[in-house]
Amino acid sequence: DTAVSQTPKYLVTQMGNDKSIKCEQNLGHDTMYWYKQDSKKFLKIMFSYNNKELIINETVPNRFSPKSPDKAHLNLHINSLELGDSAVYFCASSPNKDLTYEQFFGPGTRLTVL
Amino acid sequence: GQNIDQPTEMTATEGAIVQINCTYQTSGFNGLFWYQQHAGEAPTFLSYNVLDGLEEKGRFSSFLSRSKGYSYLLLKELQMKDSASYLCAAVDSNYQLIWGAGTKLIIKP
């Protein structure tokens, strides 16, 4: 009965590789998010989709490309990984884009770039 | 610019009360959230305030003053499991969340 799930939980890879992180929510929410949390624990919004439509696209390198095949899924593909991409990536969902309700977070994906 | 300020770290004793403050400067305001994040885990929702005043939920209470751009989270009867980071986040006029860097709370026996 997992609400927001992410795979993989851990990802260790070499610089220059391309990797993907998958996210799924079974809450029936309209809005999904990707966050990056660095070593200083600061949560930074990267992208947000509402009903498969991109609504937030913060200043993120274009090596990062989100894809939402349907409103229950939001995947993150990262090209040409760099050392500075090492962080924990959280997927989240909320009932609507107006943020009048809480966000539900996935367990996170710890990415380590060597 | 938009900004959230909260203390980096606080220490308190088991059984005591602690208040974690948060001040915000946002373009417009549509509410404020508090989340708890244990080390190595995802943030989980604690409270949401959009009107002035105190909201109580068990051992945790959250207060908001819109005129002062100020909120606090009050934790009573502290338990060791309350050791975690507490994140303050404000919703701006575009309904985007502005996150603070979090306050790491250390509970000592």
Given a cut of 90, is residue A90 above it in pLDDT? Answer: yes
CB neighbour list of residue A65: distance below 8 Å, 6 or more residues apart: A76, A77, A78, A79
The whole-number pLDDT of residue A1 equals: 66
pLDDT in tens, A4-57: 999 999 999 999 999 999 999 999 999 999 999 988 778 999 999 998 888 887
CB contact under 8 Å between B41 and A102, yes or no, is no
Mean pLDDT, rounded, for B63-78: 97
Query: How many other C-beta atoms can be found within 10 angstroms of the C-beta atom of residue A16?
Result: 10
Residue, of A2 and B34, whose pLDDT is higher: B34
Given a cut of 80, is residue B19 above it in pLDDT? Answer: yes
| Closest alpha carbon to A55 in A94, A23, A86 | A94
Mean pLDDT, rounded, for B16-28: 97
User: Rounded to a whole number, what is the distance in Å from the CA of B3 to chain A's nearest CA?
Assistant: 13
Q: What is the mean pLDDT of chain B?
A: 95
User: Rounded to a whole number, what is the distance in Å from the CA of B106 to chain A's nearest CA?
Assistant: 16
Helices H / strands E in chain A, number of each: 0, 11
Given a cut of 80, is residue B1 above it in pLDDT? Answer: no
The whole-number pLDDT of residue A33 equals: 95
Interface of A with B (CB under 8 A): 40-45, 56, 90, 97-108
Given a cut of 70, is residue A106 above it in pLDDT? Answer: yes
CB contact under 8 Å between B42 and A105, yes or no, is yes
Phi then psi for residue A83, to 5 deg, are -55, -40
Integer Cα distance of A67 and A82 in angstroms = 21
Mean pLDDT, rounded, for B63-67: 97
pLDDT in tens, A50-82: 988 888 878 889 999 999 999 999 999 999 999
